[in-house]
Amino acid sequence: MNPTFILAVAAGGALGSVMRYLVGIASGRLFGTNFPWGTLIINVTGSFLIGAFVGLFATKWDLPQAARIFLTVGICGGYTTFSTFSLDAWYLIERGLSVASLAYMVSSVVFSVAALIAALQLIRMLP
Rounded to whole angstroms, the Cα distance separating 4 from 65 reads 10
| pLDDT level of residue 27 (50, 70, 90 thresholds) | very high
Confidence (pLDDT) at 81: 82
Q: Long-range pairs for 65-71 at CB < 8 Å and ≥24 separation?
A: 65/5, 66/2, 66/4, 66/5, 66/8, 67/8, 69/5, 69/8, 69/9, 69/12, 70/8, 70/9, 70/11, 70/12, 71/12
- Domain carrying residue 115: 3-125
- Three-state DSSP at 35 gives coil
Q: How many domains does the chain have?
A: 1
pLDDT single digits (tens) 46-61: 999 999 999 999 999 9
Tell me what the pLDDT averaged over the chain comes to: 96
pTM of the model as a whole: 0.84
pLDDT single digits (tens) 16-25: 999 999 999 9
Q: Does the pLDDT at position 82 exceed 90?
A: no
Q: Does the pLDDT at position 115 exceed 90?
A: yes
